[in-house]
Structure 1
């Protein structure tokens, strides 16, 4: 099996940068005091990260800048689509969960998909931060990073927003639903 190419063509880069810039400018509440020119410069220096953002985009994640790490200077991107990304739904939590299913296996799992895209699942803390920037997952839900103590017992956690409140739930890691996917984060 050949390794997937992790570089965009010039045309793909320009199209993605245009999309990201437009989203950045339309959603300034997500990244007050940040300048697009600095974000773009950092993206252009990191083509593999640009590739990962494109993977987030093509799976309907609508990635956007949600902050900047003051220590490293890295810009932080989250999936900001209103509902869990369409191209990442109907997946169980991880490979172990996928292998444990005897019937009706999903096509993939959240952890392996995120890894192949070069991103990480949001943590519960990151998910709660995202919800301060808008109303997300009002009809869907998203797997989040699960503590090892819960995962060892066969469970996994997911979050959503209902009744103007962020809920954290549990399920068997092998479960999957058409309305559950995952949101990712990427540092550039």
Structure 2
């Protein structure tokens, strides 16, 4: 079986393994590749794999490598929960400057997961530009956490997809107030 290091250059930049039954063992291999040869992989699509908390912890450890240059990560419909959000937030704080797009749609994050992610977004070095949270169980409480994070670090996030969530008037008012900030460059999909 070929390893990531043996793949031709274009394949090293984008790895698409959506709906491939990736488990913790696969996440361990990907994390090892991110640690041992971190400068090539730019895009990783793991959509539709049931990664679980330990798989995301392993993957997040790879993302923490200061030489990791991963810019886009798809984790849509992967069973991401609070523990996975905590691992991702830790990775955003440890190596905040490269990840630009994060897809988390279709996971049961809820407000607590979004609050954990928001802790990573608060870091002034975080350069995340696009965050997909479609159908993730976010309510007003999650909107408050996101609004707080984006007030702390308003200049980088450009696109936030919150469609398919249970946003109330309070959450929408917080996000609307945020959009009035002249430093905020955000477009929100509700």
Q: Could you tell me the TM-score, scaled by structure 2's length? A: 0.31
* Structure with greater contact order relative to length (CA < 8 Å, sep ≥ 6): 1
Q: Could you tell me the TM-score, scaled by structure 1's length? A: 0.32
Structure with the higher fraction of residues in helix conformation: 2
Structure with the higher fraction of residues in strand conformation: 1
